[in-house]
Structure 1
Amino acid sequence: MSGHGVFQEQHSSFEGCAIANFIYGPNGSGKSTISNLLRNQDDLDSEPSSIEWDGDSSEIIVYNKEWREENFRDQQNFPGVFTLGSDSVEAQKNIDDLLDKLQRTQEKISSANKQLEDKQKQIDDATESFRDSVWDNVLKPNERLLGPALTGYRNSKSKFASKLLEKPGEEPSVTIDELEAQIADVFSGEPNTYESISIDSFRTLVDNLGNCETCDIWELAIIGNQDVGIAELIGTLGNSDWVRQGMVYVDETDVCPFCQQHTITSDLKTQLESFFDNQYETNLRKAKDELNCYRSTAGALLTIFEALLENPFIVACGDQSRQLLETKVLEIRPAIEENIKLMEGKVAEPSRRVTISSCSKLYEELLQQITVINNAIIEHNEAMLNISKEKERLLKDTWATLRKIGAAAIQSHEEAIKKLEGAKKGLEKTIREQKGYEKNFNEQIVEARKGITSIQPTVDEINRSLLAYGFDGFSIQPSGASENAYQIVRPDGSPAGKTLSEGEETFVAFLYFMQLIKGSVDPNQFAQEKIVVIDDPICSLDSTVLYIVSCMVKQLIDDAKKNQSEVKQVFVLTHNAFFHKEASFSKGKAYDDRNTKYWTIQKRGNQSFIKDHGSTNPIKTSYELLWEEVKSRSASTIALQNSMRRIIENYFRMLGKDKSDKIENRFETIEDKIICRSLFAWMNDGSHSIPDDLYIDSYSESPDKYREVFKRIFEVSENIEHYKMMMGDVYKETVESNAE
C-alpha cells in the first residue's frame, strides 16, 4: 500500500491473507484508499503498490461508497443481474453435473501443471549442473590452448554448454597438439604464409656424401712401384707407410732418418723415390680429396640442418615436428663422424683397406621428412588463401575435440534430459487434452445457462428481502425503458426517484451487490472465482438493519470457507466496532481459525500503519475497544478522556455500587477531585454535556494524570480487579516499572 494517500511508509501491506479478512480502522485511516485500489486494479500498474496472487488471478468485486454512487446514480435504469433460475430442476442438475466435471478437469489441469513445473525445475537444475561441470572440466583446462577458436563462448556457461550438445557424435580429424598449432596460425590475426624448404640443396649434399662413402679408394691398398729392387724388401716387411713417412726426412745428406747412420746412398735414394711413383701419389691425393669433400659436405649438411630446426613453420608447428627432425640429426651425426675417422685413418695409412658405412637410408629418411614438411607448408599456405574455410574446419575440430573430452558428462546429461523431457511431453499432452475438455464443458455450461438465466430471480430475491425486513414503501422492478435493467418504484408503480432516504438507498444497494456476487450483468459471463471486498456497508443503517447486513456478510464468509460458492476470499473493512463484532463472531465467539485473519489500521499524524493480528480478533466488544484506547500510549488527551468517561458510564451505571460523589470524596486533592468529577460527567448528565471540562483545561495536556485518577477510581471503589483484568499486560508492565 506504500505510496498511496496516508500510506506513505514502506511495508504497508497485507501479507498472508486468509479466506476471511477483517480490517478495522477509524474514519480517515485509509480504508477507502484500499478498496478503491482493489476496485481499480489498472491503477496499480504505474504505482508502487501491487497485488500478488497465489495462483491465477480472480475477479475482484468491491462494495464501497464509489461503487454505490456509480451504480445508483440513475435509480430508474441500473443493470440487471442475471442469476440461475430454479424453474428447471433437470436443467439445473445438468449444469451442476457439468460444473462438477469442469471442476475435476480443472483439478487435473492444476495437478498436471504442478507436475510440469516440477519436471521443468528438474530440467533446469540438471542443465545448470551440466553447465557448471563442463565449464570447470572441459573448457577451463583447454581454454589457453584452444581459446582463439572459442570466441563468443568463453564468457557464457549457457552458450558453451548448448554448443557442446549440438553434435556429440563427431570425431576430431587431428590431435589436440596439431589443433593447437593450426589454431595459433589461422586465428593469429594476419594470415601467415611460409617458403618451402629447398630440397634440391639437401639432395646435392646427400648425393655428394653418398659418392664419397662409396668411392673405391677406401678399399684399395695404396703401395709403391713393385718393379723397383727395394720393393720386395718393403713388401716383405709391410712397412711402406712407415717408409713413406720417413721419406719426408731424406734430404741431400747420406744420414738415414731411421737409423741415423750414413747409409743413404744415391742409389738407395733413387730406388725409394722410384718406389713412391706418380700412381702412388695420385691414389693418395684421391683419398685426401675424398676425405676433404666428405668432411666439408657433412659440415654443410649439419649446419643447414641446424638452421632448419629454426625454420618459422617448424617452430609454429610445435615440438612434435621439431623433435622428428632432431631425431634424424642424432642418427646421422655419429654415423658421419665415424666415417670421417675411417677416412682419416686411410689417408694416414694408405696401404690400409677401410670399409665406409653408407648413410643413404638415413639421408633418404631425412629427405622424406623434409618432403612431409614441405607438403605441410603447401597445405598451410593454401589454407591461408582460403582462411574462412580453414577456420570453419578448425572450429569443427575444436568442438569435436571438446565433445570427446566431455563425452561421459554429455551422455549422462542427455540421458537424464531425455527422460525428463519425455515425462514433460506426457504432462503437456494431458494438459492439452484436459484444456480441450475444459473448453467443451464451459461451452456446454454457457448453452445450458442460456435457457434458465434471467434477471427475474434477482428481482424476486431483493423484493423478498425488502419486505422481510420492513421496507415496504418501494420495490425493485424490471425497467420498462431498457432491456435487462431495473428501476426502483413505489407501490403505485411510480418511480421512487430521489425520494429514498439514505438508509433505504444504502440497504437496497447492498442487497443488489449481494445478488451481483451470485450472478453477472452478462448472461454469458459467470466467473468461476471471485474476491469480494466490502467497505463499510452499514452507513446510515439502524441497528436492526446493521444486524441483518452483518448476518449476510457472515453467511457469505461461511459459504466461502466451506467452498460452497464461487467466492474464494472476503475482505471486510469497517470503522464500526459493533458491526465488526457482529460480522466476525459466530455462535458467541470470534472466528479464530486458520482461514480468518485480522488487521487494524492505526493513524498517527498524516500517516497510517497496518498492524497484523493473525487469527486473533483485536476487537472483542465496544467496551473492550474503549479499554484499548486507554492502554494506547499514542491516544490524544481528548480521545483518552472520552474513552475513560464511556467506560465509567458503562461500568458504574450497570455494575458499580458507589455513587459518583461518594467516590469523588475519597480523593484528597482538589485537582484529583475535579478530574474524577469530569470523568463521571456523562454518567451524571446523561451523556449530553460535559460542563466540568471548563474546569480542567489546565490539565488537558496531562494524560498520565488522567490515567492515575482513572485507576484510583477503581481502587477507591474496590473494583481494582476489574481494572487489572481489562488493562492486562499494560498493568503488569506498570507494576514492574514502579518496582524498579
Structure 2
Amino acid sequence: MLQEIKVAGHGSYRTEGQVLAPLKAVNFLFGTNGAGKTTISRVIHDPDAHAPSSLTWRSDRPLPCLVYNSDFVARNFAAQMPGIFTLGEAAHDTLERIERQKGVVDGLEADIAQMRGTLGPGDCSSGKRGDRKALRDEFERECWKIKIRHDAHFKESLQGLRNSAAKFCDRVLEEARDNTADAVDVEELRRAAAILFGRAGEPHVSLPLVDLGDLLAVEGEAVLARRVIGKEDVDVAALIRRLGNSDWVRQGLPYLGEGRTCPFCQQAMTADLVDRIEGYFDETYLNEVATISKAHDTYEVLTGSALRHLNDLLALESPHIDADALRGEIGRLGDRLAVNLRLLAKKKREPSAPVVLETIEELARPIAARVAAANDVVAEHNRIVANIAEERRMHTRRVWRCLLNESAEAIRMYTKKFGDLDRAINGLASGIEAKGRRLADARAELRELERQVTSVQPTVAAINGLLASFGFTNFVLRTAGDRDHLYEVVRGDGQSATTTLSEGERSFVSFLYFYHLIRGGVSEADVTSDRIVVFDDPVSSLDSDVLFIVSALIKRVLREAEGGTGQVKQVFLLTHNIYFHKEVSYDPRRGTEARATETFWIVRKHGDASIIIGYPTNPIKTSYELLWAEVRNPNRSTATIQNTLRRIVENYFKILGNVDTDQIVARFEGRDQQVCASLFSWVNDGSHGVHDDLYVSADETVVERYLDVFRRIFIETDHVAHYRMMMGSGVQAAASPAVAEAAL
C-alpha cells in the first residue's frame, strides 16, 4: 500500500509540493474541475515521469497501480482494445494449485518485506543499516575528539583528514588494522614534529666540548702538598729550621746590599755568612719553587680560558641544553677555581707551607655530560634532517600508533559491534537474494498455472451482460476475430461501433473495461497479482441512472479494499461530482470521525496553486444534512430552529415525499393533534413572519416540546428509520430526558 504521495512541480502544484499522508485502504478526494485531481492520478500511475513528485510504499513494496482517468480512456479506447485475461473454466485441482501457489508467492513476498524492514532502506534511516550508521556516526564523533586534542601538534601528520570526520575515522580503522609502529611518548613525538615540520628543520651545529683535564693535572702536582725548604747540611740550616722562617729568609736575599748589609738587622754581614745562606737555597729548592710558580700561573690561565669557554657556551642559547642549570653549574665551578687560585698564590708565596686544592672533577663532570648529551641530540636532529622524508613517514606512523593506543578500547568495541552488524546485514542481504530467487521461481510457476486457465472470453461475456442489463443494446464487445487476445466494439450487424458511440456510451464502455481489468489483467501473468486502483472522475458525461450503477460497482471495489482479503489493496476515488461523492462515500456505520480504513481530502485552488487538505471526517455535506446537524446540536439556536424544522419537513414530506401537511396532522389524535397542528403553524409563522416578543417566546421548554412532536411525526408517518439515520447518536440530545425515555 501507499503510505504517502507527494505531488510537486507539475500541473498547478508548486515545487515544494503537497503531501497526502497518512493514507488508508480507501481514500476519497473531492475537488472542482481544474483543482488538480488528475495530476494526482498521473503521479500515482507514473511517478518517475513526474519528478520531483514521489510515492512512499509501506514496507518498501510497490504494487501495480491501475488508474482510470482521461489518459486511460485515450490509451485504451481504440478500434481494438487489449483483452483482459480472467480465470476461466478449469479443473478444480488446478484452481486449488493456483491458490496454493499464490499463497507461496505472498508468503515469500511477506518474508522479503519483513527482512527488508529488518535490514532497513538504502538511506540507512532505520533497521540494521540504520543501527550500523548510528554506530558509525557515534564512532566518528569519538574519533574527532582525538583529532581535536592532537591537531595543534600533529597537523602535518593528519594532513588531508583535518576537515572530514568520515575520512579521519576511515584512517583510524585503516591504521588500527595495519600500523605496527613502536609506541613513543607523546611529548617526544611533539619534539620530533617540531624538528620534522617546524622551523627547526635545519641542521644544527654541535656544541664545543668542555675539557678541564689540564686543570685537573695542575691539581695533581705533588709539590703543592710538600714543604719546600733549603739544604739541610749547611750550618745555618739548623738556625733557619729552628726559626721556621725559611720563606722569610729567601724573600730577603734579593735585598742584600753592596756592602753585604743584612736586610733584616741592617748589620754588616760577612761574605762567608752570605754564602752559607745562599747555599741553603740550593738548586733543588729553586726548581721546586719554579714548579710551584708555574703551577700557579698555568692554573690561572686555564681558569680564565675555561670560564670564557663555558660562558661562550651559554651565549649560544642552544635549544638542546638547559641554560639555567648550566649557568648554576658554571657558577659553582668558578667559585671553586677561585678558591684553588688563592691556595696556589699562597703556595707560591710560602713554598714551605703545604696546600691541598679542592678538586673540580665533581663539578666539571655534569657540565661535560650535559654538553655531550646536547651534542647527542644535535647529532640525532641532524640525522633526522638528513633523512627527513623517511623520518616524516615514520613519525606519522608513530603518531597514529599513539592515537590508536589512546583509544584502543573504543576502537575494539566499535570493531566488534560493527562486525556483528555487518554480518547481520550481509546475512539479511543474502537471505533476501535467496528468497528473491525462490520468489522468481514461484511467480514463474504461478504464471504457468494461470496460463492454463486464463481466457479473455469470460470478460467479453460479463461486459456484454452488464451492457444489456443497463439498456445498452445497440452495441456489444467481442474478441477481435482470430486475434482472440483483443476486444472490439461492434454494432448488431458486426460493423465497428468505435467511432459512432456517444460520449456517454464511450465513457460507460471504458469504465466497464477498466472495472473488469481490476479483476484480471492484460497479460496472463497479471491475473492474480495484488493491485492499487484509482478512479479519477469516472462519472463524467454519464446519465444519472448510469451514475448510480457505476457507484454500485465502485462500492464493491471499496468493500474489497476495506476487507483486505482480495487483490485490491487500496483505492483512491477522485471526483468533482458532489452527488456521486455522497453516494459512493455513504456509510451508515461511520460516526462523527472517519473510519480506520478511510481518509477524506479536498483539492482546491489557492490563487494559481493547488493545495490538498485532509479532514477527520467526510467534509462534503448536503444542505439537508446540515439542517439535521442543527437539530442534533445540543447548543442549537432558539432563534433559527423554527426555520430549520420547517425546511426539513418541506424537503422530506412535501418535496421528496409529496405528503400534505394536513395529512400528517390527521395522523394525530386529541391533544397530540393540537400539538402537531401547532408545530406546523408555529414553524410557518416563525420562519416567514416577525415575532412580537410581548406574546411569543421560543424558550428552551417550548423548543424541546416541539422537537419531541417533530420526532413523533416521523414515527406516525412510518419514517422513523429516516429519523434514526439522520439523528444518529443525537436522538436523546434532541429531546428532554423525560421525552427521550419514551423514544423508540
- State the alpha-carbon separation in 2 of the partners of residues 721 and 288 from structure 1: 151
- Identify the residue that residue 129 of structure 1 maps to in structure 2: 138
**Residue of structure 1 aligned with 2:297, choices 292, 295, 301:** 292
Spell out, residue by residue over 1:151-182, the C-alpha distance to the aligned partner (whole angstroms, 9 max, x if none).
22333333323322323364535433332222
1:232 aligns with 2:232: no
- Identify the residue that residue 69 of structure 1 maps to in structure 2: 74
Q: How many residues were matched structurally?
A: 654
SS at match of 1:538: coil
- State the alpha-carbon separation in 2 of the partners of residues 517 and 644 from structure 1: 45
Q: Is the 8 A contact 2:87 2:527 kept in 1?
A: no
- State the alpha-carbon separation in 2 of the partners of residues 11 and 324 from structure 1: 77
1:96 aligns with 2:106: no
- State the alpha-carbon separation in 1 of the partners of residues 342 and 432 from structure 2: 93
**How far did 1:533 drift?**
1.6
**Residue of structure 1 aligned with 2:171, choices 160, 163, 166:** 163
- State the alpha-carbon separation in 1 of the partners of residues 114 and 268 from structure 2: 130
- Identify the residue that residue 430 of structure 1 maps to in structure 2: 431
- Identify the residue that residue 381 of structure 1 maps to in structure 2: 382
The 1:514–1:249 alpha-carbon spacing in structure 2 relative to 1, beyond 3 Å, is farther
- Identify the residue that residue 551 of structure 1 maps to in structure 2: 552
Q: Is the 8 A contact 2:8 2:15 kept in 1?
A: yes
**How far did 1:96 drift?**
2.4
Which amino acid in structure 2 is aligned with residue 395 of structure 1?
Answer: T
- Identify the residue that residue 421 of structure 1 maps to in structure 2: 422
Q: Is the 8 A contact 2:9 2:51 kept in 1?
A: no
Which amino acid in structure 1 is aligned with residue 108 of structure 2?
Answer: T
- State the alpha-carbon separation in 1 of the partners of residues 595 and 652 from structure 2: 31
1:93-242 aligned at under 5 Å gives the runs: 93-117=96-120, 118-136=127-145, 138-168=146-176, 170-172=180-182, 174-188=184-198, 191-197=201-207, 199=209, 202=210, 205-241=211-247
- Identify the residue that residue 404 of structure 1 maps to in structure 2: 405
The 1:661–1:105 alpha-carbon spacing in structure 2 relative to 1, beyond 3 Å, is closer
The 1:541–1:414 alpha-carbon spacing in structure 2 relative to 1, beyond 3 Å, is same
Q: Which runs of 5+ in 1 are unaligned?
A: 630-642, 670-714, 727-740
- State the alpha-carbon separation in 2 of the partners of residues 413 and 238 from structure 1: 93
1:83 aligns with 2:86: yes
Which amino acid in structure 1 is aligned with residue 299 of structure 2?
Answer: Y
- Identify the residue that residue 461 of structure 1 maps to in structure 2: 462
SS at match of 2:477: strand
- State the alpha-carbon separation in 2 of the partners of residues 468 and 131 from structure 1: 71
Q: Is the 8 A contact 1:476 1:488 kept in 2?
A: yes
- Identify the residue that residue 638 of structure 1 maps to in structure 2: none
The 1:373–1:574 alpha-carbon spacing in structure 2 relative to 1, beyond 3 Å, is same
- State the alpha-carbon separation in 2 of the partners of residues 84 and 327 from structure 1: 109
- Identify the residue that residue 689 of structure 1 maps to in structure 2: none
- State the alpha-carbon separation in 1 of the partners of residues 456 and 612 from structure 2: 40
**How far did 1:396 drift?**
0.8
- State the alpha-carbon separation in 2 of the partners of residues 348 and 66 from structure 1: 132
Which amino acid in structure 2 is aligned with residue 83 of structure 1?
Answer: T
Which amino acid in structure 2 is aligned with residue 101 of structure 1?
Answer: V
Q: Which moved more, 1:210-219 or 1:545-554?
A: 210-219
Which amino acid in structure 2 is aligned with residue 63 of structure 1?
Answer: Y
Which amino acid in structure 1 is aligned with residue 229 of structure 2?
Answer: I
Q: Is the 8 A contact 1:149 1:398 kept in 2?
A: yes
The 1:195–1:21 alpha-carbon spacing in structure 2 relative to 1, beyond 3 Å, is same
Q: Which runs of 5+ in 2 are unaligned?
A: 1-6, 121-126, 631-643, 662-679, 692-702, 711-725, 728-744
Q: Is the 8 A contact 2:536 2:575 kept in 1?
A: yes
Q: Is the 8 A contact 1:214 1:358 kept in 2?
A: no
- State the alpha-carbon separation in 1 of the partners of residues 497 and 75 from structure 2: 18
**How far did 1:416 drift?**
3.0
- State the alpha-carbon separation in 2 of the partners of residues 238 and 285 from structure 1: 21
Q: Is the 8 A contact 1:112 1:427 kept in 2?
A: yes
Spell out, residue by residue over 1:665-685, the C-alpha distance to the aligned partner (whole angstroms, 9 max, x if none).
95479xxxxxxxxxxxxxxxx
**How far did 1:71 drift?**
1.4
- State the alpha-carbon separation in 2 of the partners of residues 150 and 623 from structure 1: 78
- State the alpha-carbon separation in 2 of the partners of residues 228 and 195 from structure 1: 64
Spell out, residue by residue over 1:294-333, the C-alpha distance to the aligned partner (whole angstroms, 9 max, x if none).
3433443444345445657x51x586xx799779768866
Q: Is the 8 A contact 1:578 1:622 kept in 2?
A: no
Q: Which moved more, 1:163-172 or 1:62-71?
A: 163-172
Which amino acid in structure 1 is aligned with residue 119 of structure 2?
Answer: L
State the TM-score, normalizing by the size of structure 2: 0.75
Q: Is the 8 A contact 2:85 2:527 kept in 1?
A: no
**Residue of structure 1 aligned with 2:21, choices 8, 15, 18:** 15
- Identify the residue that residue 571 of structure 2 maps to in structure 1: 570
- State the alpha-carbon separation in 2 of the partners of residues 193 and 156 from structure 1: 35
The 1:410–1:494 alpha-carbon spacing in structure 2 relative to 1, beyond 3 Å, is same
SS at match of 2:524: coil
**How far did 1:453 drift?**
3.4
- Identify the residue that residue 734 of structure 1 maps to in structure 2: none
**How far did 1:447 drift?**
3.2
SS at match of 2:594: coil
SS at match of 1:473: coil
The 1:185–1:492 alpha-carbon spacing in structure 2 relative to 1, beyond 3 Å, is same
The 1:39–1:622 alpha-carbon spacing in structure 2 relative to 1, beyond 3 Å, is farther
- State the alpha-carbon separation in 1 of the partners of residues 614 and 284 from structure 2: 129
Q: Which moved more, 1:593-602 or 1:218-227?
A: 218-227
The 1:551–1:341 alpha-carbon spacing in structure 2 relative to 1, beyond 3 Å, is farther
Q: Is the 8 A contact 1:61 1:517 kept in 2?
A: yes
The 1:545–1:348 alpha-carbon spacing in structure 2 relative to 1, beyond 3 Å, is farther
- State the alpha-carbon separation in 2 of the partners of residues 644 and 273 from structure 1: 165
Q: Is the 8 A contact 2:206 2:375 kept in 1?
A: yes
Spell out, residue by residue over 1:51-99, the C-alpha distance to the aligned partner (whole angstroms, 9 max, x if none).
4444344433221123212211x2x211122334451433332232232
Q: Is the 8 A contact 2:645 2:683 kept in 1?
A: no
Q: Which moved more, 1:337-346 or 1:117-126?
A: 337-346
SS at match of 1:61: strand
Spell out, residue by residue over 1:103-127, the C-alpha distance to the aligned partner (whole angstroms, 9 max, x if none).
2223333333333333333333333
SS at match of 1:347: helix
- Identify the residue that residue 636 of structure 1 maps to in structure 2: none
- Identify the residue that residue 638 of structure 2 maps to in structure 1: none
**How far did 1:597 drift?**
0.6
The 1:448–1:148 alpha-carbon spacing in structure 2 relative to 1, beyond 3 Å, is same
- State the alpha-carbon separation in 2 of the partners of residues 50 and 272 from structure 1: 131
- State the alpha-carbon separation in 2 of the partners of residues 162 and 348 from structure 1: 82
- State the alpha-carbon separation in 1 of the partners of residues 521 and 414 from structure 2: 53
Spell out, residue by residue over 1:486-517, the C-alpha distance to the aligned partner (whole angstroms, 9 max, x if none).
10123443322323333322222112112223
State the TM-score, normalizing by the size of structure 1: 0.75
SS at match of 1:194: coil
- State the alpha-carbon separation in 2 of the partners of residues 528 and 218 from structure 1: 121
Identical columns (%): 31
SS at match of 1:539: coil
- State the alpha-carbon separation in 2 of the partners of residues 86 and 232 from structure 1: 161
**Residue of structure 2 aligned with 1:601, choices 578, 600, 603:** 603
